[in-house]
C-alpha cells in the first residue's frame, strides 16, 4: 500500500481507503461473512482508512465494522458521519444541529464500541443551521477527546471556507469519479489551497465504470435504481464507455476498476478515494490500483472516451441535489 497525509496533519492514510456502506446498505444483498473477511483483509493489505456513517443500515453498518475495528483499533483510522436521521424508523430527514450532533456522536461511539472517532464528518451542510454553529459544536467534540479530526461532505466552497475559519477541516468528502467531475471547477482547487484532503466517494461511479455492473440485474431495493445514471435510458452510453475503459485496462494488463481508481489518484496528491466493496476479490483489486501508472497517452484515451460517450446521466435526482453543495 502507499500512504497519503490527512490534510495538514501527520496522519498517514492508505491511498486507497475502504467504504463500508454497501456491505449492508443501498447495494445488493448483504453477506456479513464475506464483508467481515473483507474488513480483515483490509488490515492485511494495509488499508487503514475506513469509512462508515450512522445512517448506513440504520446503525447496523457501524456495528458490523466494529467487529473487526475493535480488536484492531490501533491499526485503523475510522471515519463516520452524522446528520441524516430516521425520525420514526421510516422517514429520513437531515439535521446537523448541535443538539442532534451531541446525541448522534454518543450513539456512533456506542455502536462502534470505541472511545473516540478519528474523523467525524457532517454528512451534509444543513441549510437550516449556520455552518459555523455545526462546526463549532463539532470542535467541542475534539476538545472533549471524542473526535480527533473534522470533515464535511458535499459542502460548497463558501461553507468550506467558513467552517475552516472556525476549526481546521481535515477532509472534504464529495462524489468524484470518471463520471462525476463537478468538484474540479472550484472544490478541488480550494481543498488543495487550504491543505484539506479531498476524499472521493463513489469513485467507481457505484460500479458503473468497472464493466461488471449490469443495471438490469439490480434488485428492487437497490438505491441505484432511484438515480438517473442507472436508468435504461443511459445504459447503452454507459456500457460502451465501460467497455472502452475495459479495453484500455486490458492493454495495460490491469482491470477497469484499477484504471478508474488510478485516474482519481492522479488528479492530486491530496486525494484519497474510498471505493466500496463487500468482496475480498474486489478489495485486492482496488488495493492494486496504487501501483497503476497512467501515461499521458492513457489519460488522453480516457478523455477521448468521455467525449465520445458523454450521455452518462445525472448522478443524483433534483431532490438529492438539494442537500448537496450547501
Ligand atoms: N458522503 C456521502 O454522501 C457518500 C455517498 C455515497 C457513498 N459514500 C461512501 O463512499 C464509499 C464508496 O462509494 P460507493 O460504495 O457508493 O461506490 P463505489 O465505490 O464507486 O462503487 C461500489 C460498487 O462497486 C463495486 N465494486 C467495488 N470494487 C469493484 C471492483 N474492483 N470491480 C468491480 N466492481 C467493484 C461494489 O460491488 P460489491 O458491493 O459487490 O462489492 C459496489 O457495487 C461508500 O462505501 C461510503 O462509505 C459516501
**What are 99-145's pLDDT values in tens digits?**
999 999 999 999 999 999 999 999 999 999 999 999 999 999 999 99
224 domain residue, yes or no: no
Residue 155 confidence (pLDDT): 98
Give the domain range for residue 197.
3-205+265-291
Taking CB atoms and a 6 Å cutoff, what residues make up the pocket around ligand 1? 19-22, 27-28, 51, 153-154, 173, 201-207, 210, 212, 257, 274-279, 282, 285-286
CA of 99 to the centre of ligand 1 (A): 31
User: What total of structural domains would you count in the chain?
Assistant: 1
pLDDT of residue 286 exceeding 90, the answer is yes
pLDDT of residue 257 exceeding 80, the answer is yes
CA of 275 to the centre of ligand 1 (A): 5
106 domain residue, yes or no: yes
- Answer for the pair 311, 228: CB distance below 8 angstroms, yes or no: no
pLDDT of residue 46 exceeding 90, the answer is yes
Residue 92 confidence (pLDDT): 82
Residue 83: other Cβ atoms inside 10 A:
25
CA of 19 to the centre of ligand 1 (A): 6
Could you tell me the three cell numbers for 231?
436508468
240 domain residue, yes or no: no
State the chain's mean pLDDT as an integer: 97
**pTM across the whole model:** 0.98
Q: What is the 3-state secondary structure (H, E, C) of 270-312?
A: CECCCCECCCHHHHHHHHHHHHCCCCHHHHHHHHHHHHHCCCC
The rounded distance, in Å, linking the Cα atoms of 282 and 289 is 11
The rounded distance, in Å, linking the Cα atoms of 282 and 41 is 11
181 domain residue, yes or no: yes
- Residue 156: CATH number of its domain: 3.20.20.100
90 pLDDT band, cuts 50/70/90, is: confident
88 pLDDT band, cuts 50/70/90, is: confident
The rounded distance, in Å, linking the Cα atoms of 218 and 28 is 7
pLDDT of residue 89 exceeding 80, the answer is no
Residue 91 confidence (pLDDT): 77
CA-208 nearest atom, ligand 1: 24
CA of 22 to the centre of ligand 1 (A): 6
pLDDT of residue 181 exceeding 80, the answer is yes
**What are 164-178's pLDDT values in tens digits?**
999 999 999 999 999
237 domain residue, yes or no: no
Residue nearest to atom 15 of ligand 1 (CA): 276
Mutation to probe ligand 1, out of 45, 201, 257 (largest number of atoms < 8 A from CB): 201
250 domain residue, yes or no: no
In terms of Cα–Cα distance, which of 297, 296, 275 is closest to 286?
Answer: 275
pLDDT of residue 322 exceeding 80, the answer is yes
244 domain residue, yes or no: no
Q: How much of the chain exceeds pLDDT 70, in percent?
A: 100
pLDDT of residue 206 exceeding 90, the answer is yes
108 domain residue, yes or no: yes
- Positions marked active-site: 56
**What are 66-77's pLDDT values in tens digits?**
999 999 999 999
Amino acid at each position: 500500500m502507499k500512504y497519503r497525509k490527512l490534510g495538514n496533519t501527520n496522519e498517514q492514510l492508505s491511498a486507497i481507503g475502504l467504504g463500508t456502506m454497501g456491505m449492508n446498505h443501498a447495494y445488493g444483498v448483504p453477506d456479513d461473512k464475506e464483508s467481515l473477511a473483507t474488513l480483515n483483509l483490509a488490515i492485511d493489505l494495509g488499508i487503514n482508512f475506513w469509512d462508515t456513517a450512522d445512517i448506513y443500515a440504520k446503525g447496523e453498518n457501524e456495528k458490523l465494522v466494529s467487529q473487526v475495528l475493535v480488536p484492531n483499533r490501533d491499526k485503523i483510522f475510522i471515519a463516520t458521519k452524522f446528520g441524516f436521521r430516521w425520525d420514526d424508523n421510516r422517514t429520513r430527514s437531515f439535521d446537523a444541529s448541535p443538539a442532534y450532533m451531541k446525541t448522534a456522536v454518543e450513539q456512533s461511539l456506542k455502536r462502534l464500541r470505541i472511545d473516540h472517532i478519528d474523523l467525524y464528518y457532517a454528512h451534509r451542510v444543513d441549510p437550516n443551521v449556520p455552518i459555523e454553529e455545526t462546526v463549532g459544536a463539532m470542535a467541542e467534540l475534539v476538545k472533549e477527546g471524542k473526535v480527533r479530526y473534522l470533515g464535511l461532505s458535499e459542502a460548497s466552497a463558501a461553507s468550506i471556507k467558513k467552517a475552516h475559519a472556525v476549526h481546521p477541516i481535515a477532509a472534504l468528502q464529495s462524489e468524484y469519479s470518471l463520471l462525476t467531475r463537478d468538484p474540479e471547477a472550484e472544490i478541488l482547487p480550494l481543498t488543495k489551497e487550504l491543505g484539506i484532503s479531498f476524499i472521493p466517494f463513489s469513485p467507481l461511479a457505484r460500479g458503473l465504470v468497472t464493466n461488471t455492473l449490469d443495471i438490469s440485474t439490480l434488485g428492487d431495493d437497490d438505491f441505484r435504481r432511484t438515480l438517473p445514471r442507472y436508468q435504461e435510458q443511459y445504459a447503452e452510453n454507459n456500457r460502451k464507455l465501460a467497455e472502452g475503459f475495459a479495453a484500455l485496462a486490458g492493454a495495460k494488463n490491469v482491470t477497469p476498476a484499477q484504471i478508474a481508481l488510478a485516474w482519481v489518484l492522479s488528479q492530486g496528491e491530496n486525494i484519497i478515494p474510498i471505493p466500496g466493496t463487500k468482496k475480498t476479490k474486489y478489495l485486492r483489486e482496488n488495493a492494486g490500483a496504487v501501483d497503476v501508472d497512467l501515461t499521458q497517452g492513457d489519460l488522453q484515451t480516457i478523455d477521448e472516451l468521455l467525449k465520445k460517450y458523454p450521455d452518462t446521466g445525472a448522478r443524483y435526482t433534483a431532490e438529492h441535489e438539494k442537500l448537496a453543495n450547501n
